[in-house]
Amino acid sequence: MDEVHSVGIYGKDGKGIAVEMGVDQDIDIINGTLAKAYGQMGGYIASNKLIIDYIRSFAPGFIFTTSICPSIAAGSLKAINIVSLAEQLRIQIKNNAALIRQSLDSIAIPYIDTDSHIIAVMINDPFLCKKVSQELIDHHGIYAQPIFFPTVPKGLERLRITVTPKHRKEHIENMTKALDIVWTKLSLPRKNSKKILNK
């Protein structure tokens, strides 16, 4: 199970989606990152002793890497301790993501409606996706990552909006206004009353 976007954000003490759903003991391998929520570098897998020993012995990606730097290990441990106590920040990030979804609904911008803190604004065209992202950064100082094939299938290009707990309501309002302006300028289609389903 890939938990790189969920560790630090979901589950008790930020332990991830598998913990939040109560299935962490049913997953063979959970992989996560020390970047993103923890602000370090590197990653990890969690599994039983037999699988870990097998990977240590046979995975070239592990065999030919060097050990993590002591400073990164120390920084990661400290970050994990801090994040595990940051329940209010986890609540705020979810509240901010909900506010973004409400704001996008108010201007009929199509997005994939999930409970994630990462919001995918659907553009469905690689050239327009790049153009929207460029307009947002050049004219409004807002960075929204454009996502193309092969990360997503062709024709399902999108902007990835990632909110943090430090974003304030006025930041979200400014982003919504900017997106509305760019959307209108490029004559992009608005969504109807039904939300896009995640497929």
Catalytic residue positions?
A: 36
Total residues found in the chain within this entry: 199
Three-state SS at 42? coil
| b/e sequence 58-87, b meaning 16+ C-beta within 10 Å | eeeeeeeeeebeeeeeebbeebbeebeebe
Which of 71, 7, 12 has its CA nearest to residue 45?
Answer: 7
Instruction: Tell me the pairing of strands 30-33 and 118-122.
Output: unpaired
Distance CA 97, CA 93 (A): 6
